[in-house]
Every structure is written in C-alpha cells, then in structure tokens.
Amino acid sequence: MSLIKKLISLVKPEPRQEQITGYSKQELKSLFARPLAQTDLPVQPPTTSLESADICAFFSQFLIDPKDLVEFESLVEFHFRKNTERTFNDLPVFEYESALSGDRLIFFASTREFNSVTIRLITNNFDFLTMLSRKKFAVPPPWIAFEGYEPSWWGGEHARCSRILRQQLLFQFFHSIE
C-alpha cells in the first residue's frame, strides 16, 4: 500500500497553501497576533480587516502614480525598520517592524498592472493607514492608466473587473480631485 501512496504522491501534487502577499495564513497569524486596537478604517486607501481569518491586521491594495513609489517607500522606511525580504510571484515582498510599537507592515509594489504601481500591504498599524489616507498619493487618471484601451472598457460591461476598477482606480482618481 505504501508504494501506491508514494506513486500517487508523485503524480498528484500536494495542494498549494493559500498565501496573502507571499505569506501563509499561519505565518500571518503568528506575525499579527495582538488584537487590533482600532477598527474604524479610513475610506482611502481601500482597506479590509483580516480578523475574519483570525489575522489581527488590515489588508489594503491601491494604485499610485509610478513617480510616487519612492515617496511611499520613504514613508515606510521612516515609520518602520526592515526585517526580511522574500519573493512572491517574482516580486520582492518586504516585512517591516516598528521599533517603538512592535507593529508590523508587509508590502510589495507591482508595476505589472497597467501604467501605474499597485501597492499591496498588510499592517496592524492603524496610524500608518490614517497617514496614507491623509497623504493622498496621486492616482493616475484612467486615460493614462489604461492607455491603449478603449474608453468604453473603463466602466463598461466587464462584470468581473468592474468592482475592482471602480474601487482601485476610478473612485480613487475622482476622490483625489475633489
């Protein structure tokens, strides 16, 4: 019987472990174990609590203009110190920790999506999220981010991506110009 199981294991790969920004749920649970002190999330950037997955942190992803990436990284470096770096989907993922509070930040930036930079982050530092909300990084306008795409694509009948499009780009862009 054990020979058959070994053969099956060679043919049938083990299921991949679910990951968020390159970390497994178990890793995130151990890194973000302290209960969140505050849960009134800022409107921008779009942020979601991960407490339903037993991870005491917030997840956020948002678009910024490529010119603002250096400024974003400077804010991270000012508030946190770098612990580790790993690779996820061929992109560097950085883990930071605050020397004062022990709060953590995990983030990576991707330039693969359209003509902008997508920031994806996990943190338990509410003050950092609030500061990002006040900072209001420039969001590229749709005609720049989707250069080469038909304008009807921006908000048309694309059911699968319309919610993401509205939250990640259109809402952020129009909210930033008010």
Cβ contact 48:58 at 8 Å: yes
> pLDDT 10s per residue in the chain (178 long)?
565 665 555 555 555 566 677 788 888 888 888 888 776 776 667 788 888 888 999 998 888 888 889 999 999 999 999 999 898 888 889 999 998 888 999 998 888 777 788 889 999 998 888 888 888 776 666 666 666 666 555 555 544 555 555 555 555 555 555 5
Tell me the angle at which helices 69-79 and 126-135 cross, rounded to the nearest 10 degrees. 150
The residue behind tokens 């997955």 is: 53
Q: Parse the chain into domains and list their residue ranges.
A: 18-140
Spatial separation of the C-alpha atoms in residues 124 and 171, rounded to whole Å = 24
Find, among 168, 5, 177, 17, the residue nearest to 88 by Cα: 17
Cβ contact 105:18 at 8 Å: no
- Architecture of the structural domain at 18-140: 2-Layer Sandwich (3.30)
Spatial separation of the C-alpha atoms in residues 54 and 135, rounded to whole Å = 29
Cβ contact 135:146 at 8 Å: no
DSSP string across 43-73: SSS-EEE-GGGT--SEEEEEEE-GGGHHHHH
Give Cα 83 distance to the centre of its chain.
18
The reported pLDDT for the residue numbered 121 is: 92
| Cα angle for residues 128, 107, 58 (degrees, 5° grid) | 55
Spatial separation of the C-alpha atoms in residues 8 and 26, rounded to whole Å = 27
Find, among 132, 122, 118, the residue nearest to 165 by Cα: 118
Half-sphere exposure of residue 47: CA atoms within 13 angstroms, side-chain side: 22
Rg (CA), the chain: 19
